[in-house]
Structure 1
Amino acid sequence: MRAHLLAQLVCLGRHTLTGLLTTNGQLHRDWSADYRLYSRQRIDAAALFGSIRRGAQQSLAQEEALTVAMDDSILRKSGRHIPGVGYRRDPLSPPFHVNFVRGMRFVQLSALVHQADGFCRMIPIDFQQAPLPVRPARNASPEQQQQYKAALAAANINCLGLERVQTLRQQLNEDPAARARHLRVVVDGRFTNAKLLKNLPANTTLIGRIRRDAKLFLLPQGQAATGRKRLYGQAAPTPEGLLSDPSLEFQRVQAQLGARNCQFRVKVLGPLRALQAGGSQNLQLLVIAPLGYRLRKGSKLLYRQPAFLICTDPTLSIQALLQSYLWRWDIEVNFRDQKTLLGIGEAQVRNPHSVQAQPALAVAAYGLLLLAAAQANLKALSHPKWRPDSEPKRLSTASLINLLRHELWNASIKEPFTHFRSDPSDDHNPQKLQPLLRSALFYAAA
């Protein structure tokens, strides 16, 4: 398993099991044990992610909440006999034409980590497959149709998201060092619904986006002596209406966005209650005005879209609420790195256990890499001459992988490369490269 974790990070080709074996130098050995590592359930992914979570908690202050971002993603697969693969809505399709792709759906949780250099990063601490049941044939019996509908409702992505949040809260409660730590979950509009809002575990706060036309209500002022208790009071303005309401002024809040601090104009309203979605849950509404930006210096000022957030903790400060949501973007960066750099989902496995275990191990390797980078004060390798000398504020995943390859392979490289750093005069042309291999035409003529 350790060999696979390292090979998943430093593999130069496609990240299939054959590619991992080739990276480990096992190209001419028996590979059956490597496949049984996944198919026989010999990997405890929960233990791997648990160690990453405990490492993330060590970077937090004693009273600081554990901020976790949750989102789902699709790993594209073309095989028709892979468990859990089916047609899914393509999130990259344009809004005027919905496209479908074949793939597997996963739910990921990423936790906030404070790095040694002062910046923050989200690292994955959970990765769970979210398959859908197989649709029965058209001539299936009514009992089979009812079973399929029940299984489809149980496999809803929101049900799985709630299960992962409850599992994480239970893991924190079982850990004596994290039992009293508050859990703050940040989600997008997909998970901001009644399933999560009404069933959140104790000592947990949810922050998510809502529709601009969501129906919100103030708290009831008084209760009748008889009859049912009132859950909703007078109708509150919609999030879009609050944004354009001139009677309530904007507040300026400073938050960290990447490597710089930005000023945001926000409006706050609460405590509120959402119709049907929140029930008796008290909410706080935060409206973020669009940010202005210029494509270049002196160009026309453009604006982004506004954001509408709700929080299940009406007493949470505006700055903490806004900053927690800005940190959520790092989970999108995690998905991009996992698919483009680490080749998550490229392994050609069909066993039901391998389909879940192999991507989970690859994501755990990615999380261990980011955790090690957060705990160590690293510096990037020397840049080539065409790159500027200014160092980035936070090392990218590609830079971390290059550092890891340098540590693993530097001792094996015997030939020095000092001639690549020579400084010839301006009027001297560089020496042409003379390849040692003869061309195929030479051998064909011979």
Structure 2
Amino acid sequence: MFSKCSGAFKQTRTAKRARILALGLLNCFGRHTVSGMLTACGEQFKDWSAAYRLFDGERMNTDHLFSVIRKTLVSDYLQADCPIYAHMDDTNTRKRGRKIAGTSWMRDPLGPPFHTNFIWAQRYIQLSLSLPDSSGASQSRAIPVDFYQCPTVKKPKATDEPQLWDEYKEKKKKLKLSQAGVDRVINLRNSLNQEGAQNRQILLSVDGSYTNETVIKNLPKKLL
């Protein structure tokens, strides 16, 4: 499958480096860090700088990587006469650096209900497709096919110009989770249509935060 992902990289050596890290990711114990992946694939005594540069800038097209996974999953592993089961939820990834793009203070979903905790993190929306263990009623594994960053909008100061406040309100509407979520669902439906699965029904499961007017009224055809 990874050989089909070569188009996601601008250079052959970058693709080879990503392949090595992917193998290390499968064999990595504990936290899945870059150093852990390098150690798992026997590269710990070599220069690490090239591996870290792989995640700097736009050295790989993640949309292409996910498209390969999605195409392979739908065409080779899912039954053609069954609906496609999808799942969507948002998640926060903890960060430490204050200058990391898209980071902000967010509510900790693992905090106790009687006290609100905050964490410094990035916010993402993840879409996954179910891969059943066998035909018929069975357990399934959720295979990620989309991981989209959905940052919060920085609020202007009270003394800022009205134009900045208008821009803030407009961006806040576009980047709220429910709107970003329905945009990713539409993107999934369009991608499957282009890949020959336009007649396949998608059954989407979400939590209560997405069962609102913004999402329900904008769902595409053949998606429930």
Per the shorter chain, which TM-score range?
A: 0.7 to 0.9
Q: Which residue of 2 aligns with 1:183?
A: 202
Paired residue for 1:125? 145
Match runs of 1:153-172 below 5 Å: 153-172=173-192
Please tell me the residue identity of whatever aligns with 2:194: E
- Work out which of the residue numbers 104, 107, 113 in structure 1 matches 2:125: 107
TM-score, scaled relative to structure 1: 0.43
TM-score (normalised: structure 2): 0.82
The aligned residue for residue 39 of structure 2 is 22
SS of corresponding position for 1:170: helix
Q: Deviations over 1:274-305 (max 9, x none)?
A: xxxxxxxxxxxxxxxxxxxxxxxxxxxxxxxx
Contact 2:71 2:195 in 1 (8 A): no
Deviation at 1:131, TM superposition (A): 0.7
The match for 1:6 is: 23
C-alpha separation in 1, matches of 2:181 and 2:30 = 33
Larger radius of gyration: 1
| Residue 35 of structure 1, CA deviation | 2.7
Equivalent position of 2:96 in the other structure:
78
Give the deviation of 1:68 after TM superposition. 0.2
- Residue 81 of structure 2 is aligned with which of 63, 76, 88? 63
Counterpart of 2:10 in structure 1 is none
Q: CA deviation at 1:121?
A: 2.1
- Letter paired with 1:114: P
SS of the residue 1:125 aligns to: strand
The Cα of 1:85 is off from its aligned counterpart by 1.2
Let me know the Cα RMSD of the aligned residues: 2.0
CA distance change for structure 1 residues 13 and 197 in 2, over 3 Å: closer, same or farther?
closer
Name 1:202's counterpart in structure 2.
221
Q: Does the 8 Å CA contact 1:56/1:112 hold for their aligned counterparts?
A: no
Q: Is the 8 A contact 1:59 1:115 kept in 2?
A: no
Match of residue 4 from structure 2:
none
Residue 107 of structure 2: aligned partner: 89
AA paired with 1:22?
A: T
In structure 2, the CA distance between the partners of 1:63 and 1:130, relative to structure 1 (3 Å rule), is same
- 2:69 maps to 52
Q: Measure the CA separation in 1 of the matches of 2:85 and 2:217.
A: 20
Seen in structure 2, the aligned counterparts of structure 1 residues 62 and 21 have a Cα distance that, compared at 3 Å, is closer
1:188 partner amino acid: D
* Residues 83 and 115 of structure 1, relative CA distance in 2, 3 Å threshold: same
Question: What letter corresponds to residue 70 of structure 2 in structure 1?
Answer: R
Q: Contact between 1:159 and 1:195, CA under 8 Å: does it hold in 2?
A: yes
Higher helix share: 2
Q: Provide the residue aligned with 1:148 in structure 2.
A: 168
**1:203 to partner: Cα distance:** 1.3
Q: CA deviation at 1:23?
A: 3.2
Determine helix, strand or coil for the equivalent of 1:204: coil
Residues 1:175 and 1:3: Cα distance change in structure 2 (over 3 Å):
same
Moved over 6 A (4+): none
For residue 49 of structure 2, what is the aligned residue in structure 1?
32
Q: Is the 8 A contact 1:112 1:123 kept in 2?
A: yes
User: In the alignment, what sits opposite 1:43?
Assistant: 60
Change beyond 3 A, Cα 1:74–1:67: same
Matches of 1:94 and 1:50 in 2, distance apart?
A: 38
Letter of the 1:200 counterpart? L
The offset of 1:138, in angstroms, is 4.2
State the Cα distance separating 1:28 from its structure 2 match: 4.2
Q: Is the 8 A contact 1:111 1:122 kept in 2?
A: yes
2:51 partner letter? D
Percentage of matched positions with identical amino acids: 38
2:55 is paired with a residue whose SS is helix
Residue type matched to 1:149 in 2? K
Q: 1: distance between equivalents of 2:86 and 2:211?
A: 15
Equivalent residue letter for 1:156? K
**Pair 1:110–1:139, CA change in 2 (3 A):** same
